[in-house]
Amino acid sequence: MRRRLLALASLTVVLVATGCSSGHSPSMLDGRAGEARRVAGVWWLMFAMATVVYVVVAAFIVIAVVRGRRAKRDDPLTGPKDDTFIWFGGIVAPVLILGVLAVVTVNTTQVLRKPQQGELRIQVVGKRWWWDIRYPTDRVTTSGEIHIPVGRPVDIELTSDNVIHSFWVPQLAGKVDTIPGQVNHLRLRANQAGVYRGACAEYCGIEHAHMSFIVIADQPVDFDRWITRRRGGAGVAPTSEEAAQGQLVFTREACAGCHTIKGTQATGTVGPDLSDFGSRRWIASLTVPNTSANLSRWIADPQAIKPGNLMPPTALSSADRDAIAAYLEGLK
């Protein structure tokens, strides 16, 4: 018995330790924005209440076991007849606890939803299985990596054109579903610069696990530089002969039917907008790092990297693939 308990305890320790130390799973308790801290506050309140309830109930069980045995020894027919415990423990205490949690939760939700002055509007659409990101005021479109300025409130308008997804950046805010035909709002303000990992938090099909993204909180100057560079319709010109060849192949082949690249004839809207592809850190919603080698592999056989995604394999020569990779990596 003791050995089994020991095994169970060590398993728990291992699970907790690996869960907390994994770099891929940011903790919602490690808030870097007031919104996440508020959500964490509610969590801590629930945790504290649950702990108190657990300790009290466990204590009563121990007392009941001890007293029950004693009563049996003395006289099996007599025992406590007082039903105060039932009234208090069964009705008053639960109503109080749930009442407090209801008020705190509703209040927190209301505070988190309140529009702020000078908000930056960002539109995010949950796709299969990636995130389309637009800055409507600046007419900038990107994918999978959301830049926000530190200290400025952000209003993220969330929707989906397929199934329900859920947008969650644990260190910045609570999660909000993206629902087809409806726009939900997620408001947050990052307190410090950094890169925060986000994920889809609602099972949405075969590649749900590969529907991650990052939020990059830049200093306001850096953010302004980032968005200014992407504004306007000209786009980025190819930087080398190989890249120019890549642009030619890209717009000639099927690529242009699904992807948009600013300033070219590629205006497809099925796949992600690639206008700033070279500046992104990841390919395919954080599936592999953005390197020329990975990109070339991806173009050759996307299904080998992210099975089930909607990009078909391309029958291009390796020279054409490399040219496209050189072109896309130059789009910064």
Which chain residues interact with ligand CUA by CB under 6 A? Answer: 126, 129, 165, 200, 202-204, 208, 211
Whether residue 326 contacts residue 225, with contact meaning beta carbons closer than 8 Å, is answered with no
Instruction: Return d(Cα 194, Cα 137) in angstroms, integer.
Output: 24
C-beta closer to ligand CUA: residue 88 or 203: 203
C-beta closer to ligand CUA: residue 208 or 262: 208
| CB 287 to ligand CUA: min, Å | 14
- H helix intervals, 75-152: 84-87, 93-113
C-beta closer to ligand CUA: residue 283 or 323: 283
C-beta closer to ligand CUA: residue 168 or 250: 168
C-beta closer to ligand CUA: residue 125 or 331: 125
| Residue 197: strand pairing partners | 214
| CB 268 to ligand CUA: min, Å | 21
- Cα angle 215-24-157, degrees, rounded to a multiple of 5: 30
| CB 160 to ligand CUA: min, Å | 8
Least Cα distance to 143 among 290, 253, 283 occurs for 283
Whether residue 327 contacts residue 247, with contact meaning beta carbons closer than 8 Å, is answered with yes
C-beta closer to ligand CUA: residue 44 or 203: 203
- Cα angle 290-17-11, degrees, rounded to a multiple of 5: 125
Sheet holding 194-200, edge to edge: 145-149, 213-218, 194-200, 165-168, 176-178
| CB 227 to ligand CUA: min, Å | 26
Whether residue 274 contacts residue 331, with contact meaning beta carbons closer than 8 Å, is answered with yes
- Judge if the upstream peptide bond of residue 129 is cis by omega within 30 degrees of 0: yes
| CB 143 to ligand CUA: min, Å | 14
| CB 303 to ligand CUA: min, Å | 18
Instruction: Return d(Cα 329, Cα 332) in angstroms, integer.
Output: 7
Tell me phi and psi for residue 256, to 5 degrees: -65, -20
C-beta closer to ligand CUA: residue 35 or 202: 202
| CB 27 to ligand CUA: min, Å | 20
